[in-house]
């Protein structure tokens, strides 16, 4: 399992102008509300103490209506609300500008994984790559229920409603790996719907994308060849694509496996991508991620080993 401290990114640690605009708005609102809270608390405390009931005290004078006071306590909150509105509108403009060009990529949410498609034809899952230093426009869709795409360090949070395309701007100041998650309850495995964003220099990103478009090398060992045969004999290929078959222009049933061995996690963040974990996953996906759409295929240990040998060649 992943270390949770590593896996959960902080929304207060913005690594892009968009994310920082949101974090700044939060801090500003917190300060304004903190000042109001302090003023109200002090006044209430003063009134409770200064005007508390004393034995034998006469009833204080009763006044009704105070025009200047009433105008003041109407205008002061109005100014606070207008001020917060202006700050919010500015943060929204910075974090969520309208989409003014074709998207740089499409991300499709599924129960419980993310499909990532690039206009070049590259397809991957649960791990998206993007270049650093430039706003990156992501077209978002859902294949089933309402999900929510959230990579806190790079951009805003956005609901994805089936049948309704939406978008989000991501940007990364510096190269690195950023974790995100589905932020809208979408079924039993909602918690294991993590997404990893790998931000790379534009050159590295271009190289990655060229590599993604290439088919993996043919299996070179006996075990890997047997694994490839098993993949075709079982029903795997009806849901998962590998290589050239990957370039179909429709949402998938299951993650693309063309370069599976290069991804960092399995099952949308549930497991580190190691041969051991891959074997465990193939042996019993339903005990690791109950009710996910990957069936338990009742594989023998020898078959699991062959599958793993084959999948490890998918680079
Ligand atoms: Cu998808 Cu929660």
Q: Is 193 in the pocket of ligand 1 (CB under 6 A)?
A: yes
Q: Is 185 in the pocket of ligand 1 (CB under 6 A)?
A: yes
Return the axis-axis angle of helices 17-50 and 67-95, rounded to nearest 10°.
Answer: 160
CA 266 distance to own-chain centroid: 16
Domain ranges for the chain: 17-95, 222-311
What pTM did the predictor assign? 0.86
- Ligand 1: atom nearest CA of 193 is 1
What's the whole-number mean pLDDT along residues 194-207?
A: 95
Mean pLDDT value across the chain: 89
Given a cut of 50, is residue 97 above it in pLDDT? yes
The CATH superfamily assigned to 222-311 is Cupredoxins -  blue copper proteins (2.60.40.420)
> Which residues, other chains included, contact 157 with Cβ-Cβ below 8 Å and sequence gap of 6+?
148, 149, 150, 183
Q: Whose CA is nearest to atom 1 of ligand 1?
A: 147
Class of domain 17-95: mainly alpha
- Over residues 283-296, the pLDDT tens digits come to 999 999 998 988 88
Q: pLDDT band at 6, cuts 50/70/90?
A: low
- Ligand 1: atom nearest CA of 111 is 1
pLDDT, greater one: 109 or 2:
109
Q: What is the DSSP string of 253-270?
A: SS---TTGGGSSEETTTT
């Amino acid at each position: 399992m992943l270390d949770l401290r590593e896996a959960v990114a902080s929304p207060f640690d913005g690594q892009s102008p968009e994310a920082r605009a949101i974090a700044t708005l939060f801090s500003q609102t917190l300060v304004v509300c903190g000042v109001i809270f302090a003023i109200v608390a002090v006044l209430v405390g003063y009134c409770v103490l200064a005007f508390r009931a004393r034995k034998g005290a006469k009833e204080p004078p009763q006044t009704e209506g105070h025009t200047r006071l009433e105008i003041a306590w109407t205008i002061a909150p109005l100014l606070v609300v207008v001020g917060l509105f202006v700050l919010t509108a500015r943060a929204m403009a910075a974090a969520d500008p309208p989409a003014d060009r074709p998207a740089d990529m499409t991300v499709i949410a599924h129960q419980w994984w993310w499909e990532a498609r690039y206009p070049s034809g590259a397809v991957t899952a649960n791990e998206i790559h993007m270049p650093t230093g430039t706003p990156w426009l992501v077209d978002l869709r859902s294949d089933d229920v309402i999900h929510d795409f959230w990579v806190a360090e790079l951009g805003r949070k956005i609901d994805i409603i089936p049948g309704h395309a939406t978008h989000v701007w991501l940007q990364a100041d510096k190269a690195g790996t950023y974790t995100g998650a589905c932020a809208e309850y979408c079924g039993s495995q909602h918690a294991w719907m993590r997404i990893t964003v790998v931000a790379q220099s534009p050159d590295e990103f271009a190289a990655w994308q060229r590599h993604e478009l290439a088919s993996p090398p043919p299996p070179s060992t006996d075990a890997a060849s047997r694994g490839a045969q098993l993949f075709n004999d079982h029903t795997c290929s009806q849901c998962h694509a590998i290589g050239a078959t990957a370039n179909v222009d429709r949402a998938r049933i299951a993650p693309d496996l063309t370069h599976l061995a290069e991804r960092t996690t399995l099952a949308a963040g549930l497991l580190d991508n190691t041969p051991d974990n891959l074997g465990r996953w193939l042996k019993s996906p339903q005990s690791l991620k109950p009710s996910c759409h990957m069936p338990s295929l009742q594989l023998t240990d020898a078959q699991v080993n062959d599958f793993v040998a084959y999948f490890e060649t998918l680079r």
